[in-house]
Amino acid sequence: MLQKFSWPYQLLMLVFILGLYAFMQQPAAVLASLKTSVDDNNASQWQSLTAKAELQPYGKALMQGLLKMKYHFDWQAGHRGDAMTSYYAGEEQLDTLSQQLASPVGFPYLLCGELIGFVEQAQQSAEGCWQLQGEIEWLSPMRVKIAFNNPENNWQSALFLQRHGLFNWELTALELPIERILRHYHLQLEAG
């Protein structure tokens, strides 16, 4: 088909196809940069990639919900003194924990919804969301959703990337299966 067009149009078509390919690969490149900054614990690169995502308030709200759930569970079990002590001790640590969850070290735990595993420094799996391996879905030319599966609990988290300029992308939002995380934590509390 390209034989029908003269060489300048063929060259222009080739440049257009290469440009489109480069444009389509940008979210994968941002994901690779996120993975590299997590693997290398590179805080400055991490900050530049996640500045608009507001991960710390999100992690803090989620940790606070889990803390209140534990308080309520302990209170109902008749351990009122322990419930109050652990609740207030946990409240004092919320800011520190949420900052750590928003860092390269804590982000895989936040993304996978394993907040208790983060507090206990549990071992991470070698697959799925732990390795920042996700499926890219284009929502628009300006917005991309990257879905991650937690292999242990079979739930899905998502990152949203927003394009700024022609080839600049940054993380703008995080979506977690809050109900499933809370149900999982509730079952852990009941188990003991």
* Domain chopping of the chain, boundaries: 30-191
Full DSSP string of 117-163: HHHTTPPPPSSGGGGT--EEEEEETTEEEEEEEETTTTEEEEEEEEE
List pLDDT tens digits, range 11-34. 888 888 887 777 778 888 888 888
User: Whole-number mean pLDDT of the chain?
Assistant: 82
Q: Which helix (H) or strand (E) covers residue 164, if one does?
A: strand 155-164
Share of the chain above pLDDT 70, in %: 90
Looking at the predicted structure, is the pLDDT value of residue 139 above 90? yes
3-state secondary structure of 173: strand
Q: What is the pTM of this model?
A: 0.78
Q: What local confidence, expressed as pLDDT, does residue 122 receive?
A: 57
pLDDT tens track for 81-122: 888 888 888 889 888 888 888 888 888 888 887 777 776 665
Label residue 145 left, alpha or beta by phi (over 0 means left) and psi (-120 to 50 means alpha). Answer: beta
Across 147-164, average pLDDT? 86
Distances from the Cα of 43 to the Cα of 36, 56, 129, angstroms: 11, 14, 20
**Among 106, 101, 110, 136, which Cα is nearest to 28's?**
136
* Residue 101 Rama label (left phi>0; alpha psi -120 to 50; beta): alpha
pLDDT mean over 122-146: 78
